[in-house]
Amino acid sequence: MSVAEPEGMSVALTGLAACGSGFDYAIARAPQSGMAVSPEPPHSPAAEPNLDSWVIKSARGALESAKATGAVPADRIGLLYLSFWGSIRDTVGYLESLSADGGRYPSPRLFTQSVYSAVASQTVIALGIHGACETLAFVNLPVYRVLQRAWCLLETRRLDLVLAVWADQVDGPAVQLCQRAAAELHHPELARFRQNGGGSVAVALSRAGTASALVHLTLENSPTVLPCGDVATERQAIETPKSSGRNENRVPTAYPTDIAVEFALEILACNRTKSARRWREIDPVRRQQANLLLEAAENRR
């Protein structure tokens, strides 16, 4: 049995904000796009802000640009948070506290912050959001999948506004480990993590047709599915893509947050030119794609 994607899987994007230090390529393009990014110079790992401060900053920025603060009841606003690495610095910090002094003084603070969903929890506390809050991970297509979940939450009237936030932070030890693991395990996903830094992209989404939309997004068609087969052997096949298409090269690194930045740039470009655009999300390793139609709100009206 095959299921056709419902017609009109659309949402209205009403706000957007981004901040961080890991967006070199995005920052370079930002002046042309007019994107409201808050670039920060690379910090030493010790001085870099915590992931939650980036997430709170971008989520608050998206809410403010959507003019939703106070206009939408707090219990009708929800948060979807996606991170590839989560709070890895705090996780490593907690394990370190567990290893030191024979484990006599494990840090309750670092344990609490190492919990994957702690960043989302800090964010809803900071913003006073009372709707559903979900910390998510997806095998592929991190922008499309989050938008699809947001669409479901809006369509079923569970929420009136969804803040979707993609955020990541990678620092020294994680990068070193990834590089070593990539070489020794032939693990291309890990090879893509080459630099310190991170950041956060947040968008505010409402039901399609919302008057204050910057851009209408239509999730156009189902992405191709994961190759199936014997799990013990399939892994190898999946990790050795045969070719790279033109669009793959547009994504310089593959943090989900970078893909979200790319997406955000397209949204702003669409809104600036008032013309419809298609944005294609590519999973560079698995070579799957999802199409999103971005349509400037004024054009539609």
- What is residue 228's three-state secondary structure? coil
CB 294 within 8 A of CB 277: yes
Rounded distance between C-alpha atoms, residue 106 and residue 103, angstroms? 6
Dihedral sign from CA coordinates of 53, 54, 56, 57: positive
Q: Specify the stretch interacting with other proteins by CB under 8 A; choose among 29-37, 149-157, 206-214, 271-279.
A: 149-157
CB 165 within 8 A of CB 121: no
Minimum distance from residue 89 beta carbon to other proteins (Å):
13
Q: Which residue number, 1 or 46, has a Cβ lying nearer to other proteins?
A: 1
Q: Which residue number, 71 or 183, has a Cβ lying nearer to other proteins?
A: 183
Contact residue for other proteins among 33, 69, 121, 247 (CB under 8 A): 121
Q: Which residue number, 28 or 105, has a Cβ lying nearer to other proteins?
A: 105
Cβ within 8 Å of residue 283, ≥6 positions away? 140, 141, 289
Q: Quick one: residue 155, left, alpha or beta (phi over 0 = left, psi -120 to 50 = alpha)?
A: alpha
Site for other proteins in 250-279 (CB under 8 A): none
Q: Which residue number, 54 or 84, has a Cβ lying nearer to other proteins?
A: 84
Rounded distance between C-alpha atoms, residue 287 and residue 295, angstroms? 25
Question: Does 177 interact with other proteins (rule: CB under 8 A)?
Answer: yes
Rounded distance between C-alpha atoms, residue 173 and residue 93, angstroms? 11
Strands 215-219 and 197-207, how do they pair? unpaired
Question: Does 128 interact with other proteins (rule: CB under 8 A)?
Answer: yes
Site for other proteins in 24-43 (CB under 8 A): none
Question: Does 116 interact with other proteins (rule: CB under 8 A)?
Answer: yes
Contact residue for other proteins among 65, 93, 127, 175 (CB under 8 A): 127
Q: How many residues bind other proteins (CB under 8 A)?
A: 74
Q: Which residue number, 40 or 258, has a Cβ lying nearer to other proteins?
A: 258
Site string for other proteins, 66-105 (x = CB under 8 A): --------xx--xx----x-x----xx-xxx-xx---xxx
Query: Smallest Cα–Cα separation from 95: which of 76, 78, 114?
Result: 114
Q: Specify the stretch interacting with other proteins by CB under 8 A; choose among 3-11, 62-70, 164-172, 247-255.
A: 3-11
Q: Which residue number, 118 or 214, has a Cβ lying nearer to other proteins?
A: 118
Give the phi and the psi of residue 197 in degrees, each rounded to 5. Answer: 125, -175
